[in-house]
Amino acid sequence: MKHLNDVVVLLGAGAIGLEIVKRVATNKTIFLGDINQDNLSRAKEGLENAGFTVETAIVDGGDRHAIQAFADQAEKLGNITSYIHTAGLFPNQAAFEDILRVDLVGTAIALEIFGKLVAPGGAGLVVSSMAGHMFADTVTVEQRMALATTSADDLGTLDFMKEDIPGGAYAISKQGNILRVQAESLNWAKRGARLNSISPGIIITPLARHELQANPEGYQALIDNSATKRVGTTAEVATAGAYLLSEEASFITGTDLLIDGGVIAAMKNGKMG
């Protein structure tokens, strides 16, 4: 039987991450980190009302010292059996440099830090985005290697990190997440732990609704030309995420699962109108 000294860590208290922890944190302590106290308070209340044990901390997901302090607090709570990373900024929320700092650099730093703390037999999961697949063909082999292996703190200074890069900061950051997970999974393996990512497509969350309102025609075109012709739900993503964190997925590490209803398949095969 699991005890409350087993800890599930979630950095980024958004809808998808919270849905995932509900699937994997029964009889464990949940440690939530987010930069917004209101988000943390609402998430804590909701989880506690559902019977979970929850601790919280304010943390800037793009700052090494803040992430390290968050990790140190998590380690004091017990054995870190699962680490879930959803911290990130949407394109309409932030400037180019800020997205790189949080979505690209911060993610890489967190994977480095928690890869040294996760318990043997544990697992990590990064919630990336289908945007990481949209412009993958425009990135060279050398650039892919740089995204995978450059020192985490230096990722934002790579010479191809310019505002005219295809897809912008968000797309290159999400592709960087996918590549970083694959490379970093080898370090996690040294502790007997696994690391994977998922790339959701158009999933309805409060933040996603804001994005849809900013570009309704563009998103509707993606939906209409996809195989499923609908948006996804947080529950569908959480089911996949919980599986990758579970013992049932013990042979899966260093990979990305695209959960997009067929949007990328349509794009890659000329079905986008």
Catalytic residues: 170, 174
Q: What's the rounded Cα separation, in Å, for the pair 191 and 101?
A: 27
Q: What's the rounded Cα separation, in Å, for the pair 253 and 6?
A: 21
- Residue 113 near residue 40, CB atoms below 8 Å: no
Helix, strand or coil, per DSSP, at residue 260: coil
Nearest to 79 by CA among 32, 37, 117, 42: 117
Alpha-helical segments (H) within the chain: 15-24, 37-49, 64-77, 96-99, 107-114, 131-134, 141-149, 168-189, 206-214, 216-225, 234-245, 263-268
Say what the alpha-carbon torsion angle 256, 260, 262, 265 is, to the nearest 10 degrees: -50
